[in-house]
A and B are shown apart, each in its own frame.
Chain A
Amino acid sequence: MAQRITIDPITRLEGHGKIEIFLNEEGDVANTYFQIPELRGFERFCVGRPVEEMPLLTNRICGVCPEAHHMAAAKAADAVYHIDPPRTAKLLRELLYSAFYVTDHTTHFYALGGPDFVLGPDAPVAERNILGVIHKVGLEIGGKVIQARKYGHNVVEIIGGRKVHPCTSIPGGLTKGITEEQRKEIEEMGKWAIEFAQFSLKLFNDIVLGNKAYVDLILGDIYTHRTYYMGLVDENNKTNFYDGKVRVVDPDGKEFIKYLPKDYAEHIAEHVEPWTYLKFPYLKKIGWKGFVDGKDSGIYMATPLSRLNASDGMATPRAQEEYERFYSTLGGKPVHQRLATHWARLIELLYAAERWVELATDPEVTSANFHAIPTEKPTEGVGIVEAPRGTLTHHYVTDERGVITKVNLVVGTTNNYAPMSMSINKAARSLIKKGTMVTEGMLNMVEMAFRAYDPCFGCATHSLPGQMPLQVTIHDSQGNPLKVLRQYC
């Protein structure tokens, strides 16, 4: 009689992720199901709205990374009107976006992903959170983390009008520019952000890389998958968050495809399973082969790690150094160990900070030429940016008034749904064996498997990002609970 383990967010009623682990007669893992229990239907109710509202409406897909949706939507809207915004508008948008990246990556590393390393996977539950981190590494760091978030949001507010859900991007550019005073302020904050990023990398070095147990954990097979990797790159194949072409490399690190946003539908398709609301994107050319990795499976990943794997380097000097150190330390490209994503994320943090200052010091950034009035007949457009949690694609079709008739969204976290499912499956299989007693720490290890992806079901469906508190209920064959274990991040 099959035994069954339900790993279920305590807060499952909010509709977060939910994991079903089925054991076979022997007590080994037979199968796992990672379910996403919500759907909001943006694709439907955005129909009928004027396209210029999409940057505002799709903001509300996710309050953690509204900037990503704001940008993807704005770029798609530009495309719909066949207009190329003035350079100043692009500078400002990317500047806002870089500052946002600093905030977002900081939040994940210190509040969500970090605790596992800083405090250790099996540290007491109650401590394994941001406050725990602060206690361990000292209060002034807590201050720094808050500072980093503050600065990032300040820039978002200066350029985007608001801290959460910015409102200034419109077809053809922005509704406002910035003054020289504001530019100076932004530049100063940017410089501080660079220091903070470097500090964070050092922290990772000392606490994580300095600890053999962690390194082994990172390099261990539990957290390794050979998949395709996706990321946005500039004309020199360097990572870029705001603009460029989408590049996909195969598990051997060779370029598989490189496409313009408008061609995304030729390369990406989404698979539907009846037991979850979330779809599983895959590479069309290869096709959906089920939850398996390797070169013959269309499953790909889009995370900080993938972006590094998919690029030939970083466009800023300091980040480039870290990029090289990253691969030399982990034994060359591509890196398949999922936990390395945390490190990759910090390298991106540094890049974002450097880019921030770079853009803030561009002479054209304060120009008054921040909007060009669209004149062409609106038709159809695709906008792609790199959300922190993966390549974000917005695709709109409109009528001649620029009113939406079709919407398609392939959202950051969604890209990683299949790989996450596999990671969970693999982690579960390797941890839960016949006769083993399922422990709380063990479950956190399972959880770490997908926490590395920084999954944001805010984006995917709209529950809350990163937070995947788990509960394990072991049922006997009659389905009566034998044992309940809980654990939280």
Chain B
Amino acid sequence: MTDQFEPTIIGFTCNWCSYRAADLAGTARIKYPPNVRLIRLMCSGRLDPTFVFKALASGADGVMITGCHPGECHYIEQNYKALRRFHLMRRTLQGFGLEPTRVRLVWASAAEGAKFASEVASFVEEIRSLGPLHWGKNNGKDDVQSPTQQSKPEIAEVPA
């Protein structure tokens, strides 16, 4: 491997469309980067934002949520719930000071192995360009100097 940053990405698939899309990508031998590790749920409607936060807090650099196309949910309309949660989740991540693009929502039908592969590839590239999740900036901050250990805190800009 080169010394370029290899992001770790957790992916969530639904049992009926996107997981089968991943299967199809396999049977069709379509190559994509190995950075994504998948978790199978029955439906994208099962996707609890906790899982996303847990993944990001546990060292994943990005999270990919996948499900059936709108209107084609195995459970009729539950992927819309995933859609709504995704929108609110993104806004919350922004508030946390994380790049909301670290979480991506992808619709992939069982027939879209190629789409699945290309989405993974482009997502890996996007996360790679964002770089690792900085705990110093966004989390534990163990690597951040205490403000009082220095005479004057140098603040690039104070976001309002």
Direct contact of A and B (CB under 8 A): yes
Q: How far is the CB of A458 from chain B (nearest CB, A)?
A: 21
A window 394-421: CB within 8 A of B: 405-406
Q: How far is the CB of A36 from chain B (nearest CB, A)?
A: 13
Out of B95, B151, B160, which one reaches A405, CB within 8 Å?
Answer: B160
Q: Report the separation of the CA atoms of residues A48 and B95 in the bound assembly, to the nearest whole angstrom.
A: 9
B 72-95 to A, binary, CB cutoff 8 A, 1 in contact else 0 = 000000000000000000000001
Q: How large is the interface on A (under 10, 10 to 19, 20 to 34, 35 or more residues)?
A: under 10
B window 105-158: CB within 8 A of A: 151
B 33-44 to A, binary, CB cutoff 8 A, 1 in contact else 0 = 000000000000
Q: Report the separation of the CA atoms of residues A274 and B95 in the bound assembly, to the nearest whole angstrom.
A: 32
Does A119 belong to the interface (CB within 8 Å)? no
Q: Output the nearest chain B residue to A277 by Cβ-Cβ distance.
A: B148
Inside 8 A of A48's CB, which chain B residues have their CB? Answer: 95, 160
Q: Report the separation of the CA atoms of residues A48 and B91 in the bound assembly, to the nearest whole angstrom.
A: 13
Does A438 belong to the interface (CB within 8 Å)? no
Inside 8 A of B151's CB, which chain A residues have their CB? Answer: 274
B window 43-85: CB within 8 A of A: none
Inside 8 A of A30's CB, which chain B residues have their CB? Answer: none
Q: Output the nearest chain A residue to B151 by Cβ-Cβ distance.
A: A274
Q: How far is the CB of A253 from chain B (nearest CB, A)?
A: 42
Q: Output the nearest chain A residue to B160 by Cβ-Cβ distance.
A: A405
Q: Report the separation of the CA atoms of residues A48 and B92 in the bound assembly, to the nearest whole angstrom.
A: 12
Does A47 belong to the interface (CB within 8 Å)? yes
Q: How far is the CB of A399 from chain B (nearest CB, A)?
A: 8
A window 243-297: CB within 8 A of B: 274
A window 23-66: CB within 8 A of B: 47-48
Q: Report the separation of the CA atoms of residues A48 and B151 in the bound assembly, to the nearest whole angstrom.
A: 27
A 372-406 to B, binary, CB cutoff 8 A, 1 in contact else 0 = 00000000000000000000000000000000011
* Interface of A toward B, CB cutoff 8 Å: 47-48, 274, 405-406
6 contacts between A and B (CB under 8 A): A47-B160, A48-B95, A48-B160, A274-B151, A405-B160, A406-B160
- State the 6 A-B residue pairs at the shortest beta-carbon distance, nearest first: A405-B160, A47-B160, A48-B95, A274-B151, A48-B160, A406-B160
